[in-house]
Structure 1
Amino acid sequence: MAPKINHPSISYSCYYAKNREGEQFVSEHVFSYQISGTLTLGYGEKQHVFNPGDFRLIRRNQLVKFLKEPPPGGEFRSVSVYLDQHTLRSMSVEHDIRASSPTAKGSFVSLAPRPLLKSYIDSLSPYNQDGVKMDPKLVAIKLREAIFILLQGNPELKEMLFDFSDPIKTDLHAFMEKNFHFNVPLERFAYLTGRSLATFKRDFQKIFGNSPSKWLQQRRLHEAHYQISEKGRSASEIYLELGFENLSHFSFAFKNRYGVSPSRL
């Protein structure tokens, strides 16, 4: 079932029958509440499971894998509020809220359930009805309300929410080994490592002795070979997980490199 709230800043996720998995780049901070079912988020090699009743705040500029699982005979339901940079910058100027020591560490924050958080989420439910549209001015108010409520219960979140800096230049080798399985453009990898695309390619060649595109395919195929031969997993289980867009492309590339199809390994 598609979300009913028709606005990019506030959305309901709701569907039945089967699990849904994928990946995404989180470009804005996301405040979410798990209504039913479970959400598993993967960051590099780490995973965290959110259960019904859990509140979370996901930090912006993250690459994440997700698995949404409806309960037996039920539906997966969650609501998410996207705290965009324009709103946060405006509040920073208007209310003199600034990050005193920007340290955007950690991919997410698990929030303790508080009455104000739950009442805020409940206040959004009338807009999750057929034919109801949220006025942009009302959306702006609800976004600010969410931010003030978050800060009231967790003042330390100021350091995350009001840190407007771009990603700093990071260890390229460590970052790529952690995130090679994400199927995102090179421009995204460059940005997240604190580099221009030209600098990213130049540094990459120095460190890996190969172009980013060639290295990514070889690294993904190497991991695929390990998963199939050592872990007994099938090609259909892992091709999306390792950043390949479709099974036929994965099988062709695998056979071209190892001389045997994944199913014959």
Structure 2
Amino acid sequence: MQKEQTNRNIILQACEGENYFGHTQFVHEHVLGLITSGVAEHYTPDGVTIYSEGTLCLFRRTQLMKTIKKPAEGKPFTTINIFLSQEILKRYSLEHQVKADRVYLGESNVILENDAFMKGYFNSLLPYFAQPEKLTPTLEYAKTIEAIELLLRNPALKNYLFDFSEPHKIDLEAYMNRYFSYNIPLAQFAKLTGRSLSSFKRDFDKIFRSTPEKWLQKQRLEHAHFLMKQKNKRPSEIYLEVGFESFSHFSHAFKKQFGITPTELHNK
């Protein structure tokens, strides 16, 4: 079970019980996050990165991410996230005359030093989660600006934070073959590949000779079949991993595609 206490840009997230597979896979804004207990496993096509308790990380906007959040040592998974919206960053840039020198081309996810200043900052947020009404919009904005100021102690993060350029048009075929298992709306796939939704659909038809919906489902089912037959994965382990929201939808679509349910295939 996942719980969140939210005041717009500042979130305390708690996942109680067993492992929780995160459904939020499109990162809209930069996020400064501190894992206060538990472990997070972030899955990308390049592999898995494990973030343990105490990890402080900056996640870049406009990217795809899959996460499994795990309790550890008898404690639930909890994290404090500060969302650094483009609106706030542009306002800060204008008021303080801070601008990017160039387009940011570095790592999307940057692990930061959890020094005394950062520890003091996150400790100062904890009382507000017990009494969320005390975190007024004015205080919330001030705490978000404080986070930006703390990050800018590292000059290398200026371009990271203040590069406001949007994704450029990229190779659609290569991108979709790499990220088909991410369950996000088509509009977000379009944005990530530097296209409007209409041009995304038009280009998709030229390349794949199919609609995005049909192609995505076929790719996800074939990948699921491979994972079960070649890797001996259980259907319950993989339906979220390959991009389905519910096991029943996955099972129905799988049987329609292959003439056998995922459970029957696995039992063979």
CA distance in 2 between partners of 1:255 and 1:15 (Å): 33
**CA offsets per residue over residues 24-69 of structure 1, 9 Å max, x none?**
2110100011111111112334321111111100000111111111
CA distance in 2 between partners of 1:3 and 1:235 (Å): 29
Q: % of aligned pairs identical?
A: 42
Name the structure 2 match of 1:247.
Answer: 247
Name the structure 2 match of 1:55.
Answer: 56
Given that 2:255 and 2:262 are in contact with CA atoms closer than 8 Å, whether structure 1 keeps it comes out as yes
Q: Which amino acid aligns with 1:192?
A: L
Name the structure 2 match of 1:181.
Answer: 181
Given that 1:23 and 1:63 are in contact with CA atoms closer than 8 Å, whether structure 2 keeps it comes out as no
Is the aligned partner of 1:168 residue 2:202? no
Is the aligned partner of 1:224 residue 2:249? no
Evaluate the alpha carbon distance shift between residue 16 and residue 260 of structure 1 in structure 2; reply closer, same or farther with a 3 A threshold: closer
CA distance in 2 between partners of 1:169 and 1:97 (Å): 27
TM-score, normalized by length of structure 2? 0.93
Q: Number of residues paired by the alignment? A: 263
Superposed displacement of residue 163, structure 1: 0.9
Given that 2:22 and 2:69 are in contact with CA atoms closer than 8 Å, whether structure 1 keeps it comes out as no
Given that 2:9 and 2:83 are in contact with CA atoms closer than 8 Å, whether structure 1 keeps it comes out as yes
Q: Which amino acid aligns with 1:181?
A: S
Name the structure 1 match of 2:141.
Answer: 140
Given that 1:45 and 1:178 are in contact with CA atoms closer than 8 Å, whether structure 2 keeps it comes out as no
Evaluate the alpha carbon distance shift between residue 46 and residue 107 of structure 1 in structure 2; reply closer, same or farther with a 3 A threshold: farther
**CA offsets per residue over residues 149-203 of structure 1, 9 Å max, x none?**
0011x21111111011111111111211121111111111001100011111111
Matched residue of 1:183: which SS? coil
Matched residue of 1:31: which SS? strand
CA distance in 1 between partners of 2:28 and 2:240 (Å): 21
Given that 2:43 and 2:66 are in contact with CA atoms closer than 8 Å, whether structure 1 keeps it comes out as yes
Name the structure 1 match of 2:198.
Answer: 198
CA distance in 1 between partners of 2:106 and 2:204 (Å): 25
Name the structure 1 match of 2:92.
Answer: 91
CA distance in 2 between partners of 1:107 and 1:242 (Å): 23
Name the structure 2 match of 1:260.
Answer: 260
Q: Which amino acid aligns with 1:257?
A: Q
TM-score, normalized by length of structure 1? 0.94
Is the aligned partner of 1:33 residue 2:37? no
Q: Which amino acid aligns with 2:118?
A: L
For structure 1, which segment, 223-232 or 34-43, has the greater mean C-alpha deviation from structure 2 after superposition? 34-43
Given that 1:40 and 1:48 are in contact with CA atoms closer than 8 Å, whether structure 2 keeps it comes out as yes
Question: Alignment RMSD, CA only?
Answer: 1.5
Q: Which amino acid aligns with 2:167?
A: P
Is the aligned partner of 1:107 residue 2:111? no
Name the structure 1 match of 2:71.
Answer: 70
CA distance in 1 between partners of 2:247 and 2:4 (Å): 29
